[in-house]
Amino acid sequence: METITSNAQDLERAIRTIITAIGENPDREGIVETPARITRMFKEIFRGYDESQKPKITTFTNEAHSSDMICDSGDFYSMCEHHMLPFFGQYHFAYIPSPTGKILGISKVARVVGYCAARLQLQERLGHDIVDMLSEALDGEALGFAIVLKGRHMCKTMRGVKNNGPMCTTYFTGKFKEDAQLRNEFLLLMNNQ
Ligand SMILES: [Zn+2]
């Protein structure tokens, strides 16, 4: 498989081509290191293509045999696949563990969000990717997942319609899909954060 590490020279050349094509001088002092700098940055912001950087998801036995909702919130930063411009904002995540199964090490949710976001993405797909990876870590036994993403898209803000409102996407599975009361409880908690 091709990786940024094995293709670093091709990538640097391509960025130099872009700099030239937009009318800049790629040899200008302030810019001459930019292709190498972007190549290094891409290794980080597109690490989601590198299986070796996939986060290890710590899980624990659900010793309390709880089937109550567990929530986590935080930031995400990604790149839209249509314009290769950033989109970023807040995620709100919740799941219901299986009372006889496992629970997630909660800091791992943020790691999975970061990894799944480090690709060319659609906000709609990002929510699915995050839930799929966390569900797999719980052996598919969790009783339901909920995720809400609120993102600001630079392709909407700095070009085209030039409007700054956030885009909101949701994804609910299992109990969150079936039980409107549970879903409302989650949405209420989320809005108070
Ligand atoms: Zn876009």
Sort strands 102-104 and 59-61 into parallel, antiparallel or unpaired. Answer: antiparallel
CA of 165 to the centre of ligand 1 (A): 14
Q: Tens of pLDDT along 100-159?
A: 999 999 899 999 999 999 999 999 999 999 999 999 999 999 999 999 999 999 999 988
Q: Which domains does the chain have, with CATH numbers?
A: 8-45 (1.10.286.10), 59-191 (3.30.1130.10)
- What is this structure's pTM? 0.93
Task: Say if residues 87 and 78 touch (Cβ distance below 8 Å).
Answer: yes
For the record, the structure tokens of 71 come out as 């929530």
Give the distance (Å) from ligand 1 centre to CA of residue 158. Answer: 11
Q: Which residue has the tokens 């290094």?
A: 40
Q: Which residues pair with residue 59 across a beta bridge?
A: 104
What integer pLDDT is reported at residue 191 of this predicted model? 83
pLDDT value, residue 160 = 84
C-alpha of residue 139 to centroid of ligand 1, in Å: 34
- C-alpha pair distances (Å), 91 with each of 30, 81, 124, 134, 184: 37, 19, 12, 14, 17
**Which 3 state secondary structure label does DSSP give 31?**
coil
Distance 65 CA to ligand 1 centre (A): 43
Q: How far is the CA of 86 from the centre of ligand 1 (A)?
A: 8
How many angstroms separate the alpha carbon of residue 82 from the centre of ligand 1?
A: 5
